[in-house]
Amino acid sequence: MEPHTAAKHRILQNYLYAWLPIMSKYNGRLVYVDGFAGPGVYEDGEPGSPIIALNAYLDHAYRERIDAELVYVFIEEERARVKRLKKEIAALGALPKNVVVEVIEGSFQDRFAEVLDDVETRGAALAPTFAFIDPFGYSDAPMDLSGRFLQFDRCEVLVYVPLRHVNRFVGRAGQENAMNTLFGTDEWEKARELNGDARLRFLHDLFAKQLENECGLTYVRSFEIVSSANPASGYTLFFGTKHQLGLRRMKESMWDIDRVEGQRYKDTTSSGMQPLFEDEVDTTPLRDALIAHFGKKKFTIEDALEFTLVDTPYLPSHVKKRTLKPLELDGKLQVLTERRGKGTYPDGAKMRFTL
């Protein structure tokens, strides 16, 4: 298995590990959809995404507390892969009673549309659903389908897009339908007038914008997975949710990715802010972003934490000790609230930059 596939799987696994107990607390039923499931196993014997998703529950340290019904829907087009996937699932042994697995043979476009039609006809609400959309190329994951699905509250999506590949093909004739399908608009055509990084950035931002606008998602983050052996094959994982807690858990999953030899993983949501995945995080870009955002205005610690979560690649846990404290000790941050001492920022603490 290639290191970038391992990175993708680890993000998925980490996120589901956090998602399952949180969501099962408030819902009797959760749905996981893998729209391009694959055979469930790689040539080297490593598990594929369906098995990873099942094991996120089966091996969960708090499995006993996750009592919701868990419906796993795996869609795969190729018959041989469907067969293999069923075998891999059977090899897990008897599944607990609350786990329902449906392996569907067919194309994501047709089969997923049927599921949605059915839900809409019955006027039923879709249970909280997490969809993993991981096609080989870029012409099989229509934005309008994702859009319909994501109109349901509490639905989240993780889409793997070969953005550098898209970037290379965007100028070629004959790609129009595939591009329209991927982006759900013909605005991608404007990319043809751009070059290099600007073009890649434009396509990235357009996809993120479409997820927000067409799919009604409040928060969209992306994570780029580049193989240094083959930088041209870079992929981008786009995650979309309507909920800050989901956003936070996904960002934590992304931050958990270690450096693997010969591989670079970069958070690419904001231009110029690309923290390395090392123990010693450089929070200079976060400091600059906070200063640019709040300027001389008063703000609370909650404002700073929310801005960090929603508008930067950083986590709320990077804010106090690593970012605000050094600024305060340097005389660049004035705290206006009584508290225990410098470097502490209790709930509701008000402050402003003095630059």
Ligand X SMILES: C[S@@+](CC[C@H](N)C(=O)[O-])C[C@H]1O[C@@H](n2cnc3c(N)ncnc32)[C@H](O)[C@@H]1O
Q: Which residues bind ligand X (CB under 6 A)?
A: 34, 36-38, 48-49, 75-78, 81, 107-109, 134-136, 140
Pick 77 or 267: Cβ nearer ligand X? 77
By beta-carbon proximity to ligand X, the closer residue of 224 and 328 is 224
> Least distance from C-beta 77 to ligand X, angstroms?
4
For the bound state, the minimum distance from the C-beta of residue 206 to ligand X, rounded and expressed in Å, comes to: 22
Closer residue to ligand X (CB): 75 or 250: 75
Task: Please state the φ and ψ torsions of residue 49, each to the nearest 5 degrees.
Answer: -60, -35
Least distance (Å) between residue 210 CB and ligand X:
19
Least Cα distance to 7 among 56, 49, 54 occurs for 49
Nearer Cβ to ligand X (163/304)? 163
User: Which strands form 129-133's sheet, in the order they lie side by side?
Assistant: 99-105, 69-76, 29-34, 129-133, 155-161, 230-241, 219-227, 263-267
Residue at shortest CB range from ligand X: 48
Q: Nearest-CA neighbor of 34 among 124, 125, 120, 102?
A: 102
On the CB side of 189, CA atoms within 13 Å amount to 8
Nearer to ligand X, 51 or 304 (CB): 51
Q: Which is nearer to ligand X, 250 or 319 (CB)?
A: 250
Burial (CB < 10 A; 0-12, 13-18, 19+), residue 27, is: middle
Give the shortest CB-225-to-ligand X separation in angstroms. 12
Cβ atoms 250, 241 nearer than 8 A: yes
Taking the complex as a whole, the smallest distance from the CB of residue 36 to ligand X amounts, in Å, to 3
Alpha-helical segments (H) within the chain: 3-26, 49-58, 79-90, 108-122, 143-150, 163-169, 176-183, 196-215, 244-255, 284-294, 301-311, 325-329
190: DSSP letter:
G
Task: Rank residues 38 and 240 by Cβ distance to ligand X and give the closer one.
Answer: 38
Altogether, the residues listed in the chain come to a count of 355
Q: How far is CA 255 from CA 99, 240, 291, in A?
A: 29, 17, 23
Q: CB-side exposure of 350: number of CA atoms within 13 Å?
A: 5
Measured over the CA atoms of residue 241, residue 247, residue 251 and residue 253, the dihedral's sign is negative
Closer residue to ligand X in complex, CB, 158/333: 158
Q: Smallest distance from the beta carbon of 159 to ligand X, in angstroms? A: 11
CB of 6 to ligand X, least distance (A): 10
Report the nearest approach of ligand X to the CB of residue 54 (Å).
Answer: 12
